Structure 1
Amino acid sequence: MITMEAVIEVPAVVSASPPPWPLAAMAPGSWLVLNAGCADDQVGLFVAALANRIEVLPPGGRDEVVNALLAEDFLIAAGGLRIRDSTTGTVVTPGCCAGLEDWRDWAQVLIGNSPWLGHDPGPEVEIVSDDLRVWQDGGPNRYRGRWAGVHVDLPHRALPGLLNGAHRDLVGFLNPLTRWATRVGLQQRGATLVEAIDKNFAITAPLDVQPLQ
């Protein structure tokens, strides 16, 4: 079974010390999956990861972190969409510098293009007849005229359903995000933060991908 998940990369360090709220204990460089089942500490880790890229005024507590996030014109997070083949156990993850904010670029595959999925390694989508081959490290091998290494194969017609599933997961993630904001005590700023995350990561906007015949 092929699945597609919205993920962010856990940062090496969280800039605020001590953290402004409880954070899930996850190894740096691992992947946090975003969906309706996220616990409070996982949501807290997601929000802390967003703040890790921006300047937060001292003392770096809850209010300073949230104020800094709301002052940003753009929110970004290292990550994107992860492809997993549960039958083979193969996983293709976003490359370095790929961002969750660009997750919708996967729809370009439906018109014959491979979206930029990061580098080091360089994930890439190869169109093979009616199927797609998603390479974990496609770039360097491709330029030598050959492909090799870790990859996941999926039918081209399966992509719209996978993208719609990732979209539903992201929309579902807004529910634990909203509950977390209330429990942390953000009050009206909590609703504003949820709206900012929704807008910057294009979560609830319609996703116009149709099943292929």
Structure 2
Amino acid sequence: MLIMDAVLETYEARGCALWPVSDPADERLLRLSGDLSPRQVGTAMAVLAGYNNRPRERGGRRTEDGLAQLNRLLTAECVVAPGGLRVTDTDTGVTAEPGCCFGLENWRDWQGLLDGEEPWLGHDCEPRVEHVGAIIRLWPDADRQERRPIEIPRVELPGLLGSVQDDLSGFLKSVEGWASCRFTPVTAALVATLDEGLTVSAPLGDSP
């Protein structure tokens, strides 16, 4: 069975004191969905707010006010979300994690595989895809091809991407519940910004 998840790197949440976050875990990736606990949503929002609120001037310091950080996120030119899509083959036990610098905001680039494209999926590790007839072969790391690839039948890709979209839609609902308890005035704007920045609600097949 193939599973495709939207995941977020959690490094940016370390030391966050703006709101409650989940305890540090060995797993550096947080799966986004509607099943997150409030603390896990807090972790995701600490990553998104912190990553998009870096000091603009050398020596500048990030504000420690939670509402101010969220307002920065709302006015960011674009939403950058460290992470991407993780694919697991439960039959073989092989998992391909997103490479560095790909960004979850680019998750729809995977749609290009349906047209025979080979999108860049990040580096270190460096996942790579190749087309073999009706199969999309996903190598977890192009530099270590002794690892087994994951074989994705092309006909299954739309369903897998649809499951990702469902999970991201659930995540937006979780964010709405989380923000309404802490930052009520910006709740609607926050959900709308993440919806647009992560291109969640637009029908699959539409260009971001």
Normalising by structure 2, report the TM-score. Answer: 0.88
Of stretches 24-33 and 112-121 in structure 1, the one that deviates more from structure 2 is: 24-33
1:3 equivalent to 2:7? Answer no
Verify the 8 A CA contact 1:58 1:64 in the aligned structure 2.
Answer: no
Partner residue in 2 for 1:94: 98
| CA distance 1:58–1:152, shift in 2 (3 Å) | closer
1:204 equivalent to 2:208? Answer no
Identity of aligned residues (%): 37
Partner of residue 179 from structure 1, selected from 177, 182, 202: 177
The alignment covers a number of residue pairs equal to 200
Partner residue in 2 for 1:170: 168
| CA distance 1:23–1:41, shift in 2 (3 Å) | same
Partner residue in 2 for 1:144: none
SS of the aligned residue for 2:11 comes to coil
**Structure 1 unaligned regions, length at least 5:** 142-146
The C-alpha deviation readout for 1:70-118, integer Å capped at 9, x for no partner, is 2211111111111011122211000011100000000000000111110
Verify the 8 A CA contact 1:137 1:150 in the aligned structure 2.
Answer: no
d(CA) in 2 for partners of 1:119, 1:173 = 26
Give the 5 Å matches for 1:36-185. Answer: 36-53=34-51, 54-55=53-54, 59-138=63-142, 140=143, 147-184=145-182
Deviation at 1:179, TM superposition (A): 0.2
SS of the aligned residue for 1:153 comes to strand
**Structure 2 unaligned regions, length at least 5:** 56-60
| CA distance 1:115–1:74, shift in 2 (3 Å) | same
Over the aligned positions, Cα root-mean-square deviation in angstroms equals: 2.0
The C-alpha deviation readout for 1:40-88, integer Å capped at 9, x for no partner, is 1111111110122223766512222212212211111111111011122
Verify the 8 A CA contact 2:7 2:104 in the aligned structure 1.
Answer: yes
SS of the aligned residue for 2:39 comes to helix
- 1:148 is aligned with what amino acid? E
Normalising by structure 1, report the TM-score. Answer: 0.86
Deviation at 1:27, TM superposition (A): 3.2
